Each structure stands twice: as C-alpha cells, then as structure tokens.
Chain A
Amino acid sequence: MALVERPEMKVIGKLENPDKLAYHVVTGNADFASDRLAGRKLYGAIKCSTIMKGVITKIDATKALAEPGVKAVVTHEDVPSWKEGIFFWGQPVAGVIADDPFIAERACNLIEVEYEDRPGVFDPDEAMKSGAPLTGIRPDSNTNLATNLDRGDPDTAIANAPVQLETTQGYTTTYQHATLEPHQSVSWWVGDNLYSWIPSQHIHGAKNSVVNAFGMPANKVHLFTHFTGCGHGDKTGDNTAIESAAMSRKVNGAPVNLIKTRQKSMLTHSWMFAIKSEIKWGATADGEILGVDAKFYGDGGSNAMAPIGNCHFGLRTTYDIPDARFQVTTITTNSPARGYWRCVNDPPGACNYDRALYKLAAHLDMDPYQLIMKNIRENDAPDLDAPYRVWGGIAVKDMFEWLHEESGYAGKWHKPGEGNVMDDGRLHGIAITGHWDSHGSVNGASRGGIVTMCPDGTALVNVGGGRGPSGGPITCVHIVAETLGMKYEDVGLGDWGATDTTLDAGIQAGSGFTSGAGTGFLNAALDLRGKLFSYAIQKAGLRDIEGITVDDLDAENSEVFYKKDPTKRITYRQVMSGTPPLAGSGFGWASHTKNRAVGNVPLGEVCNSNGNACSAAEVAVDPETGEVEVLNHWNAVDTGRTIFKQGTIKEMRSGSELQIWQALYSGSIWDKASGACLSSNYTEAMMPTSMCFKGENLHQQDFESYDAAGPYGAHGIGEPCVTNYSSIICAIFNATGKWVEPDKGPCTPDKVLKALGKA
C-alpha cells in the first residue's frame, strides 16, 4: 500500500469534529431558495409536453390568463432554454406566473397546446437500428461513438488466446434523483441586473449558463445559493434560474418563485443513464486475461452530451490487460435527458464490466476473486494508455485484499448456485467488485477559494457552492483550520455561493471538490497564514523577540507561537487587533501530467486525485419469491487522506445504501407507446426508506493511501463509494447461478423469478 508517514494532524481526520450543516437540515432550520422574499413575490409553474416528438404549432393561453390571480404566461419565445421542437414527453412548453403556486399550477392545465406529432423513438435499441426515425437531438444520427480506444492488437490477442468468451450485459438501471428539495428558484430584475436565488452545487457554473442564455455581461448576473436539498448531480446546470428569470422579466422584473412539482422536477432534470455492453475476452485457462474487446452502449435520452463516454474507465485502468479495445456509443432517444447522478460514468459502467468478469470466471470455473487478483494492477501503477501521466490507481489492490479478509469471503464463497442453501431455505451468495474511478479529480479548470479572518480571530471559509452535500465545504473548513493552526470551532462557513463574493470552487460534489476546491482552500489558507504571521511579528508578545521573522512562527489552537520558545504566543484575536481586514485566496489546479506538475505536486511524483473503491456484498435470495436481502455490505474507499472523518464515514455508509438502492430499488417505469414516465413520484420510483437498510449490516473502511495531488494527500470519494453496486448483482449470481438482467431497472423479485425460470 502506498501509505507514507505523515505528521499527526490537529484537526484533519478527527472523528469528534461535527458536521456544521447537517443539524440545520434535519431540524428544519436550513434556508432554501424558496424561503427568500416571502410575502413579496409571485409564483411560477410549468406545463409539460404530452408527446415525445414533434413541434408546437399553437399555444392558447386565453383560459389561463382569465383565471383570477394569473399575471402572465411564458412560452419558448420568452424562455431561452425552452424549445419549439419537442424531444421528450414532459418537456417544458409553457409556464404561468400567478399570485400563488397553486393558482399557477392549476392554470398550467388550462393552457391549450397543439402539436404536430412526428415519429420519435423511445427505445435505445430501436434508435440504433438502421432506418430508425431520427430523434432530432443530434442533427444527422441517433448515435455517436464517444470513445474509441485501442491498446495493442486486441483482435489478434483474443483470437490467439486459449480461452475466448463473448458476453452480453443488458441495460443497467435508469432512475431519477431523490433529492430532498424539488427544483426551484427565485429571480428578479433591478434594471438590467438579474438576481437569482437557486439551489446549486455549482453556482458559478449556473451563472455562466444564465449569462450565455440571456447574452448578458457577467457582471450583471448575481446568483446566490445557500442550502440545497441534496445535490448528487441533480443541482448542476442553471437550476431553473433561466426559467424564473424569464418569468420575472415577463412581469417587469417582479420577483418570481418558480417551484417545480416533484413530477416536473423529475421529468425535466437529469436521470442516470442505462448502459449495456458486449464484452469479448481472451484468456488463458488459468485466468490470465490476454485481451478484451469491450463495447458499451449508453442511452443519453434527449441529452446529446450525456456524460457516458468514460464508462469503460474502471475496466481500462484497474486490470492489466495488454491488448484491449474500448468503445462507447452514446445513443439519443426521445426520453428525458440523462446526465449527472452521483457523477456519471462509473456505476453503470462497472455494473457492465464486473458482470462480464464474473461470467469469465464462471466460464473458467474460477473463483472470481482469484480472477480479479490475477489481473489487477499493482497499487500506484501508472495509466497504461496515457504514459505521460504520472497518476495511478493507488490502493485498489489493498482494498480488494482487505474486503476478502473482512468479509470472510474465502470461507463463504461457493460455486455459483451450488451448495449454498441456508437454514431458512434461502440461497446465499457473496461477491467482491472494485475499480479505479474516473472521478475524484479536479477535472480541468482551476478552482478557487477565499478565506477571511474576522477581527475576533475567527475565520470564514467562503465557498462558491451550495450547502446541500455538506461533505465538500466542511472538508474545506478542516483544511483551513489545519493550515492556519486554528481550532475547528473557530472556522466557520462564510458567504456561500454568492457569485459576487466567492471564487468558482467547482461543482460541489464529493468526487472532485476535495481535490479541486480543497487545494484552492489549502492555498488560500497558506496565503492568509503568511499575512497573519507578518502582522503577528508586529504584535506585543512576539515583536520583542530579536530577529524574529515569519518563518520562526507556527500556529496551533488558534494561537501563533514562536517555534524556538512555544511559551511565547499570542492569539489570532490579538493578531487581528488593530490589523486591517485580511483575506487569503488560492487556487487548485488539475495537476496530473509530468508537464504540468503544478499546485502542490512535485514533478513526477505519483498522484491520482481520482477515487478508488471496492465493495463486497453478501445476499440471501428467496427462491420462492425472488426477494433479495443484503445480509452484509462492505464499502472500502481510498480517501488518500481522510479529512472530514464524520463526513467520510457518512458518505461511505450512504454509499452502501445507494449501492443497494441502485441494485434493488431504483427504477423507472414508462408507457412505451407515448414515452410518458409513470414513475415521476416517490411511490412508483420506489425510493427506499431508512427502513430498507440495516445499519449494523453496512460496514465501512477508509484507506489512507496519500495522494500527492490532493490537499494533505486526499482525493475525492463521492462517485467511487456508490459505484460498486455490481457487487450485489454478482452476489445474486453467486446465490442462484443465474444472471438477473436489470432491464433498465433494479433487480426486483419479478426479474429474479424470471431468471430462475419461475415467471
């Protein structure tokens, strides 16, 4: 394991440091966008299309406008992000501004919309067929080869391999977010300046969207965000700011609070995409993989830019396969847009290649763990396809070994579907999967942070993001407190997400925020620390020390002290006495290459910034009903360095829950004839409740491997820790000896019974 010796941290990694935000959410004290301007705003609602493909020919709002309390109606002619053409059932076609949200919602039903219905295609396999109707989302094709990467000569390697196996994996589940807060925003205009409160994971990205949509100067768009009722990728984009701003403009700039119902939130914001695959293996009889030809197909719905192209990443990077081909085809269909859901590529990607790996193991009559360990890359191994990079999967192999031991796998694994009947008649199964994730890094653009010091010696971390997924911002608090030598309780959260007063901290998500914004705040704290020390040496208690320089100082417990004589110390409050207001700013960079070894990464040192995670699942399958119970689930995550301990444990625990959710619960149901979603609510979408999980059966372990690219050695864990839901599906295979096809949904009992030949 790439563990390195590190000095003991004062704040970082301390379990006793509480989450500074979660309490406010669960006690109802958190403030959300719709809490703004109460009593002096109008309300907006949207009407959605009832066809999947076509064009609007007429909108008659006469009846709606005649309703008492209705102020105005907007259409695609008013809202820059709306279209005249219809590309999926549920697309926004009109909106109402009214005195209260119920009037607005009811009036939407009075708007009469006429369409010219055109042939569309809902099913991704149909969309790929020659002669299929064009979805219209791309101009000339329903498909796009997003990734086409060859390593060596896979065709020859597979052809010459002693064992060849062709596998197909059906579509993984597609589902919507279960965010606490539906989409909403409050916008108003003052002259030609736009102000908008939105729930956002990336307020500066939202601002860019608004600027582009309205063609406005950036300094006239002012966006704010505080708490967001969960993000998980759902609160990226403009978060309805464009829609509410257009509505406000329609009523002469009066504040308009657009509130989307749960159904409309689900329909009009991004879904997780479904991916299927055809994976061909060439291997030796004892399990050495010599070649792979992996083709993935992902349904992006009505999003031509659905971020699917990297779904092969874990297969490409986690295993030592000398000759390989990776192709990813993205498909457009006339259905809601697929996009960010707890990041993007890896969960459905891993659910494909892990199933294919387990099929190879079964074909070779091998324990899949042995197959994995025979082919897994060593810790710290560099990227095979990008040798200019110095990054590598840091602790994947260690985590596999830990899970093997911790889960008691060796004593529990059995051949698929053999000798595993439990006392109660159910079938026992176990599986381990893991991967090096495509997420967790700073991803391109630089990320910034500002730290301000208050006159009383407390500090504020000003994060340019929302307050929903609190792991990222609280991680930054830890980094700042550690760097400034302050007590954890002396560092607070400042003016979050006001685009005018913060720097772009990137998308506030567990995967990239720690690496990007975390480094930004590390450097901001270092900047501020230098300024504070330069004032400290001028203050009573330190200024009398002969020849003292800032290099002679250090800080702990919110006090600055003289390193040669730690009894000589003053508090930050004393430092700030009579000192002008101070702030520090800093940036974090993408720093993965030998040629761009910037930030805090020494040139050529192994770093990653991406996340890594492994999971083991132990299940019991009822062969009479097809019900699956997860008896135990282990989630091991390579954090690089665990900064916010409580948050990390929480994230890993919820990661287990999300894996169970994806494997057994999350789904969507559709009327295929019309393309209508029938599950845009919590009942039919089968959101699991807390009673679906047994906390004592969910086990977490963080691995501190040290990543030179990240602040204090940390990297992101958001996507990695939710990815390995394939462990549950592979465990069902181990239990039953049959593959349960998710068929674009969870592995519900009907599908298990079908696999068992009982339905």
Chain B
Amino acid sequence: MYKITHVDATSVDDAVAKLADGSAAPIAGGTDLITTLKGMCIPTPPAKLVNLKTISGLKYIKEEGGMLKIGALTTLTEIAKSSVVKSKYTVLAEAAKAVASPELRNAGTIGGNICQMPRCPYFRNENNAFNCLRKDSSGLCYALTDYNVKHSIFGAASGCVDGCPSDVAPALVALGAKIKTSKRTVDAADFFAVDGLDITALEDGEIVVEIQVPELASGTKSAYRKFAFRKSIDFPLVSAAVVIGGSNASIVLGGVYPIPRRAAAAEDAIKGKAIDETSAAAASEQATKGSVALGQNKYKIQIAKVMTKRAILACK
C-alpha cells in the first residue's frame, strides 16, 4: 500500500480545490481505487485521496426537467433497486445489478463505476511489474503478443487492447446519457476515452457530479446482457446494452474494446423492424462487423453476437 493522506471534501468546489495540485485523486466507494493502491500497480500514485462521500447532495435518483438525474455518489445497489430506473431505464438497472457482488454494489458508486482504471492483468500486476503503455507512453502493450483471452476484438485504442470494465458505461452510452462534471456536461459517448490510466476524458481535478439520462420515448424498451466466465462476480468479458423504441435503436457493447463500442451496423439492422428471433439474429451478426480477434479471444466474437441477440430479444 502506498503512503497516502486522506482528506474529506465538503463540497464539489472544495473537492476540486483539493484535487488541484495534481497529486491527489478522488475517492468515493473506493472499490476500484483501493485495490489498485494496495497492489502498487501504478508508477506515480496519488499522495492524497480526496474523499467525495462527505459531500452532501450528490446521492439521489430523481426525474426532473424531462430527464432522469442520478447523483454521482448514488450506489449501484440504489440504482439497481430503484423502481423508476427498473421500470423506465431497465438497461441501466440491469447493468448496475450486474456489477460485481452485493457487497461491492453497496459501496460502489455510479460515478466511480464509469471512472475505473483498466482491468488488463498486465496493467494490474502488482508492483508495476509490466511497463504497460497505459502507465508509460514509452511502454508496451504486452497483451498484444501474449495473454489476451479477455481483451479487445476491435483492435487497439491508443495502443491498448483492454476491454471496457464498466457495466454501467455501455448502458449510459446506449441511453444517450450525459455526464455532468464539475466543469461541463459531456455526452456519455464522448466521455469515455483511452487516456493514460483512465477510461474517461476527465481532466485533472475534474470530477463527475451527475448522470443525466434523457426521458425515453413511450414504448421504448431496453436491456443489458452480460457475459463473464464467473457469473457470481466478475467484470464483463462481453456485454450488450440495447435500447429500442419506435424507429430508433441503440446498441452498445462493453468488454470488447477499451471503451464502450457502439454497434452502428447492428442498430441499422434492427431499426424499425419487428423484434423476433430472425431480426435479432440478423442484427447481432452485424454487431461484430469489423471485429478482429487477437490470438486467444476469437470466442468473444461469437459471444458478442449472442449477447446482442439476447439483449435485443429482451426488448421484444
């Protein structure tokens, strides 16, 4: 464990101020960050953790102004159990429920879930054993040439072939959500980016404040399907978030690329069609268009098709 000081933030502004010197990192549920720090797997660890949980008013789920608003400190359990989320934004409730285990969902927040660091075992190897390019721009992607069972099937993003570890992220992109930060409001589709240690476009000192999901058109249905080797607790190897309503369809894959991956060809294939086994299968075939397996993960192409088909059928 690194030597770290821990300070409480009293407000968003206070948190931003305390994060300003660049040597600090925000912490909420801590379920991702603490394991990273204990494993000492990042070369320049934060000297200080700024506790966001002491900020009041960032834990809520409410419908307001034609949108669903979720405070960044809302736990995944609260989202999974929310009647409004379950009934109107099913894909998000199912994605939240798919995260890890009950204990971790009780602690983990939606803000933290979309700001996870990569799960690649090279990145996570204790004591920074591999000079991974996500940590050091002069490093290598070791997964490209060796162990890559769990990695990208759509090539590299900025040289990295990790799979997006967040369950919630593809659901938010599929829902057309926006991420309100301490500085701006960003489309979820633009929020996720391969940027060094992070999977987000957040700048230093910038924190997530709120998730905003636009109200869905009447009759819209949505679903999330996840595949992992270990069903009871694991990160997604492949996931599919599907939102279908009227002539619109949004299909976003998780686990198959370092960040959520929109399956545009699959969306086009299912838009305006009646959902049945045939149309779902045809669309799911398009979901992996452009995919290229690495040496050990060809199976993920098959799984991505199946998860997409099952998620589409769940929207029937």
A residues lining the B interface (CB < 8 Å): 50, 102-103, 105-106, 108-109, 261, 263, 624-627, 665, 669-673, 676, 678-681, 683-684, 686, 688-692, 748-750, 753-754, 758-759
- Are A753 and B229 neighbours in the complex by a CB distance under 8 Å? no
**Is B227 on the interface with A (CB-CB < 8 A)?**
yes
- Are B1 and A679 neighbours in the complex by a CB distance under 8 Å? no
Q: CA separation between A109 and B299, bound complex, in Å?
A: 38
- Are B232 and A689 neighbours in the complex by a CB distance under 8 Å? yes
Residues A749 and B229 in contact in the complex (CB < 8 Å), given A673-B146, A680-B126, A691-B101: yes
Q: How far is the CB of B131 from chain A (nearest CB, A)?
A: 11
- Are B125 and A676 neighbours in the complex by a CB distance under 8 Å? yes
B residues lining the A interface (CB < 8 Å): 1-3, 39-40, 101, 119, 121-122, 124-130, 142, 145-147, 149, 227, 229-235, 296-303, 306
Q: CB < 8 Å: which of A106, A672, A748 contacts B40? A: A106
Q: CA separation between A683 and B41, bound complex, in Å?
A: 15
Which of A50, A749, A754 has the most chain B CB atoms closer than 10 A to its own CB? A749
- Are A671 and B122 neighbours in the complex by a CB distance under 8 Å? yes
**Which residues of chain B are within 8 angstroms of A749 by Cβ–Cβ distance?**
227, 229, 299, 303
**Which residues of chain B are within 8 angstroms of A673 by Cβ–Cβ distance?**
142, 145-146
**Which residues of chain B are within 8 angstroms of A681 by Cβ–Cβ distance?**
39, 124, 126
Q: CB < 8 Å: which of B230, B296, B299, B303 contacts A688? A: B230
- Are A692 and B231 neighbours in the complex by a CB distance under 8 Å? yes
Q: CB < 8 Å: which of A102, A108, A686 contacts B229? A: A686
Q: CA separation between A176 and B174, bound complex, in Å?
A: 39
Residues A750 and B232 in contact in the complex (CB < 8 Å), given A672-B146, A678-B147: no
- Are A750 and B126 neighbours in the complex by a CB distance under 8 Å? no
**Which residues of chain A are within 8 angstroms of B119 by Cβ–Cβ distance?**
683
Q: CB < 8 Å: which of A624, A684, A691 contacts B121? A: A684
Q: CA separation between A670 and B125, bound complex, in Å?
A: 11
**Which residue on chain B has the smallest CB distance to residue A629?**
B231
**Which residues of chain B are within 8 angstroms of A691 by Cβ–Cβ distance?**
101, 231-233
**Which residues of chain A are within 8 angstroms of B130 by Cβ–Cβ distance?**
671, 676
Residues A261 and B126 in contact in the complex (CB < 8 Å), given A673-B146, A689-B232, A749-B229: yes
**Which residue on chain A has the smallest CB distance to residue B40?**
A109
Residues A753 and B146 in contact in the complex (CB < 8 Å), given A102-B3, A263-B39, A680-B126: no
**Which residues of chain B are within 8 angstroms of A109 by Cβ–Cβ distance?**
40, 127-128
- Are A686 and B302 neighbours in the complex by a CB distance under 8 Å? no
- Are A625 and B227 neighbours in the complex by a CB distance under 8 Å? yes
Residues A671 and B142 in contact in the complex (CB < 8 Å), given A678-B122, A691-B101: yes
Q: How far is the CB of B239 from chain A (nearest CB, A)?
A: 13
- Are B232 and A688 neighbours in the complex by a CB distance under 8 Å? yes
**Which residue on chain A has the smallest CB distance to residue B232?**
A691
10 A-B pairs in the complex with CB atoms less than 8 angstroms apart: A109-B40, A627-B231, A665-B230, A671-B147, A691-B232, A692-B231, A749-B229, A749-B303, A754-B299, A758-B302
**Which residues of chain B are within 8 angstroms of A692 by Cβ–Cβ distance?**
230-232
Q: How far is the CB of B59 from chain A (nearest CB, A)?
A: 27
**Which residues of chain A are within 8 angstroms of B149 by Cβ–Cβ distance?**
669, 750
**Which residue on chain B has the smallest CB distance to residue A622?**
B306
The 7 closest A-B pairs by CB, nearest first: A759-B299, A691-B232, A678-B121, A750-B299, A263-B126, A689-B232, A753-B299
Residues A105 and B122 in contact in the complex (CB < 8 Å), given A624-B306, A754-B299, A759-B299: no
Q: CA separation between A738 and B104, bound complex, in Å?
A: 38
**Which residues of chain B are within 8 angstroms of A684 by Cβ–Cβ distance?**
121, 124
Q: How far is the CB of A728 from chain B (nearest CB, A)?
A: 15
Q: How far is the CB of B261 from chain A (nearest CB, A)?
A: 19
**Which residues of chain B are within 8 angstroms of A748 by Cβ–Cβ distance?**
229
- Are B299 and A102 neighbours in the complex by a CB distance under 8 Å? no
Knowing that A261-B126, A683-B235, A689-B101 touch, tell me 20 more A-B residue pairs with CB under 8 angstroms.
A103-B3, A105-B40, A625-B306, A671-B122, A671-B147, A676-B125, A678-B147, A680-B126, A681-B124, A683-B119, A684-B121, A688-B232, A749-B227, A749-B229, A750-B149, A750-B299, A758-B299, A758-B302, A759-B301, A759-B302
**Which residues of chain A are within 8 angstroms of B39 by Cβ–Cβ distance?**
263, 681
**Which residue on chain B has the smallest CB distance to residue A750?**
B299
Q: How far is the CB of B121 from chain A (nearest CB, A)?
A: 4
Q: How far is the CB of A421 from chain B (nearest CB, A)?
A: 16
Q: CA separation between A36 and B126, bound complex, in Å?
A: 28
**Which residue on chain A has the smallest CB distance to residue B296?**
A750
Q: CA separation between A236 and B82, bound complex, in Å?
A: 49
Q: CA separation between A686 and B121, bound complex, in Å?
A: 12
- Are B147 and A106 neighbours in the complex by a CB distance under 8 Å? no
Q: How far is the CB of A143 from chain B (nearest CB, A)?
A: 26
**Which residues of chain A are within 8 angstroms of B298 by Cβ–Cβ distance?**
759
**Which residues of chain A are within 8 angstroms of B2 by Cβ–Cβ distance?**
106
